[in-house]
Structure 1
Amino acid sequence: MWLLFEQPLNEKIRSYLRIEAVTQQVQAHQPFQLAHGELAFFRSLFELMELVDRADLRSDLLKDIDKQLQNIERWRQYPGVDQQQLASFAELLTGNQQQLQQQARPTAELKTDNLLAALRQRLTIPGGCGSFDLPLLHFWLAQPLEQRQQQALAWLKLLQPYTDTISRMLELLRSSGHWQDSLAMSGCYQATAEHNIDLLRVRIPAEHRVYPAISAHRNRFTIHLVNADTGKSDHRNLPLQLSLSLEQQ
């Protein structure tokens, strides 16, 4: 089994990855199948709201969509390209673009919800969500499961133009890199790229019980392998697989 680690090399991709991770968390909690899972859902939802509220996120996504649509137009000129697939992808991106243009403030409606507003204040207090603190929450928890699930989906749908677009951008970014076999000599690997790197992906065999400490900047990076059992540098010669997703020009 290979363990996968991802290292963003700029703030924009770092933000995308954080939003992706929290989106996955909130979606996993949304079915409310575990006891007391609702509070985990709300904590993840509030994290997602804060991340999506970043001032430059919308403009970054719109710029990325424009770049991808321009790339698609160039790819149309290449012989043997699947034109139907390109058209389908362009349609999806155009849909994302239109949704983002129509929704300048993604969390505005969520912030006016009475339950969410009350919960957001109390969740910062240890043990602050008891029935005596938040009777509204405990009324909501007593509603049928299906009703609570549908309400949670409605909240998430308000953020979907952003979360869906980020998921699509990261899918494209990851697919632009190609896996290559490499070797960390004495537990260290260094490399440079001709162009700036957006995302560095590293795969390491789980059997070696190491994880990477990555130092990276724009078009160069260093990977030091750390032994998970000792917490110290591992100096063995160990195999790696690397994938570099380069910054789009």
Structure 2
Amino acid sequence: MIVYEYPFNERIRTLLRLEDLYEKFQFFAHQPDPMQHHVALSTIFDMLEVAGRADLKSDLLQELERQRQTLLGYRLNPNVQPEMLDAILAEVDSVSSALVAAQGKTGQNVRDNEWLMSIRGRTIIPGGACDFDMPSYYAWQQRPADQRYNDIVTWFTPLVPLFDALGLVLRLLRDSGAPVKMIAVAGSYQQMLQGKVYQMLRLTLDETSGAIPEISANKYMLWVRFTTQGGDLKPKPLEDQVPFELTLCNF
């Protein structure tokens, strides 16, 4: 199954972009090749670019506190397992405390590193980080893989509380919705939302269907148009019936 996600607002869009960057960073940082470590370092720069557009730290702290209060309200619900509830509450408290303890602006340690900032300035230029442009960076790339990895982890560590909080918020959001089986007739599906506010949509498809959802939505209506790819990979309208699962998520 393939899961497609669609954010309903800019805040969730930013969180999903950062999550995607974090997954790429995790993959490339654990690879041994200098080129892969170059991608990992460039991904940190991309994270700072995305995170710098909003006050994510305070926004995440507010959301975690809202979730904490909501979860506390479930204590008297007989259908809720107290052990699971306590575990989630403990995780929310732990992540919130670590984020509060994080000092300074997000990624300030990287911004204060003149050498890293010189690399960032060169990487935005196509081919700008060649050995003749930055011999010191080239020399660093020739170091043993474990030394390079330890450096990258050191530079990224101050960002860990932010990404732990981000991951928890998105996990709670995804768990807030229940999947419903739907069928798109002639490759199209519409649903009136009647002004109800959602944060994110999740659409699950069988990977063998060959269908690709193109999603647009606002607080009044949701529209999904399915396409498929030919040999030239250009999207083409799909006129078949398409079964899928739809999950509307909201805190």
With normalisation by structure 2, the TM-score equals 0.92
TM-superposed deviation, 1:87 = 2.0
- Structure 1 residue runs without a partner (length 5+): none
Contact 1:201-1:242 within 8 A present in 2 as well: yes
Q: 2: CA distance between counterparts of 1:86 and 1:213?
A: 37
Match of 1:39 in 2: 38
Match of 1:6 in 2: 5
User: Structure 1 residues 212-221 or 157-166, which shifts more?
Assistant: 212-221
Residues 71-120 of structure 1: per-residue CA shift (max 9 Å, x gap) = 11101111242223222222221222223223341211111223311110
Match of 1:137 in 2: 137
- Count of residues paired in the alignment: 246
* 2:249 is the alignment partner of 1:245: yes
Match of 1:160 in 2: 160
Residues 10-34 of structure 1: per-residue CA shift (max 9 Å, x gap) = 1111111000000001111102334
Q: 1:222 is matched by which residue type in structure 2?
A: W
Contact 2:7-2:200 within 8 A present in 1 as well: yes
Match of 1:231 in 2: 235
Match of 1:204 in 2: 205
Match of 1:72 in 2: 71
Q: 2:97 is matched by which residue type in structure 1?
A: Q
Secondary structure, in 3 states, of the residue corresponding to 1:15? helix
* 2:195 is the alignment partner of 1:191: no
Residues 142-163 of structure 1: per-residue CA shift (max 9 Å, x gap) = 2221111111112221111111
Q: 2:248 is matched by which residue type in structure 1?
A: L
TM-superposed deviation, 1:219 = 4.9
Contact 2:32-2:145 within 8 A present in 1 as well: no
User: Structure 1 residues 25-34 or 67-76, which shifts more?
Assistant: 25-34
* 2:169 is the alignment partner of 1:169: yes
Contact 1:197-1:218 within 8 A present in 2 as well: yes
TM-superposed deviation, 1:35 = 5.4
Q: 2: CA distance between counterparts of 1:115 and 1:204?
A: 46
Match of 1:221 in 2: 222
When the two chains are superposed, the root-mean-square deviation of aligned CA atoms in Å is: 1.7
Contact 2:213-2:226 within 8 A present in 1 as well: yes
Contact 1:10-1:218 within 8 A present in 2 as well: no
Secondary structure, in 3 states, of the residue corresponding to 1:178? coil
Secondary structure, in 3 states, of the residue corresponding to 1:33? coil
TM-superposed deviation, 1:5 = 0.7
Q: 2:100 is matched by which residue type in structure 1?
A: Q
* 2:30 is the alignment partner of 1:50: no
- CA spacing shift, 1:141–1:60, aligned 2, 3 Å: same
Secondary structure, in 3 states, of the residue corresponding to 1:129? coil
Residues 28-60 of structure 1: per-residue CA shift (max 9 Å, x gap) = 110233451122112211111112223321222
Q: 1: CA distance between counterparts of 2:144 and 2:34?
A: 14
Contact 2:37-2:149 within 8 A present in 1 as well: no
Secondary structure, in 3 states, of the residue corresponding to 2:238? coil
